[in-house]
Amino acid sequence: MLLALARALLLRVVVDGESMAPHLHHGARALAVRTPFARVRRGALVVGRTPVGSGDRWVRLRDPDTDEVVDLQPGHDAHFVKRVVGVPGDRVRPRHRPLDDGVGAPAVVDVPAGTYFVEGETGFSVDSGLWGPVPADHILGVVLTRPRARLRSPARPVAP
């Protein structure tokens, strides 16, 4: 019975990729408390389903820290581990966006009700900067972790 309860409450996660480095590296294992048992908050690491149709095209991203450029393809029906940087009602400035958008500075994004804005920790992350806000029903759980490194400020609020 205890095992059944644990399975109902928890997800086992194996990180695929380096978009959450240095906090979670490729192959890292973690536990996540399933939603609706966990509250999704700004700054939380979450496990979710990639929005439908997000794997249909290649994107070119520039790392804002190193100015390095990389081409990525998001993948179909994939899962992700990302940090919540915007909750419903927030205004956020995406850390990175595809290079082919013709805009020099990142836009301000209003996070609609029932969605979350998520980002990876590196500039080479396929996340809400590409997909837009993720529907709440795509968030599967909140990761239980205590990163060793100091966490960067998870939100970049913008004055209204």
The CATH number assigned to the domain holding 50 equals: 2.10.109.10
Classify burial at 160, counting beta carbons within 10 Å of its beta carbon; exposed 0-12, middle 13-18, buried 19 or more.
exposed
Our CA angle for 122, 88, 150, nearest 5°, is 35
Q: Residue with structure tokens 């940090």?
A: 83
Residue 76, domain extent: 2-144
> Position 85: which residue type?
V
- Does some domain include residue 20? yes
- Does some domain include residue 41? yes
| pLDDT digits 0-9 by tens, 58-106 | 555 555 566 665 555 555 447 889 999 999 999 998 876 654 455 544 5
- Does some domain include residue 152? no
* Residue tagged active-site, from 19, 54, 125, 128: 19
Q: Total structural domains in the chain?
A: 1
- Does some domain include residue 160? no
Can 19 be counted among the known catalytic residues?
Answer: yes
- Does some domain include residue 158? no
Can 128 be counted among the known catalytic residues?
Answer: no
| pLDDT digits 0-9 by tens, 6-56 | 778 888 888 877 777 777 788 888 888 998 888 999 999 999 988 765 555
* Residue tagged active-site, from 54, 82, 125, 128: 82
Residue of 6 and 155 predicted with greater confidence: 6
- Does some domain include residue 156? no
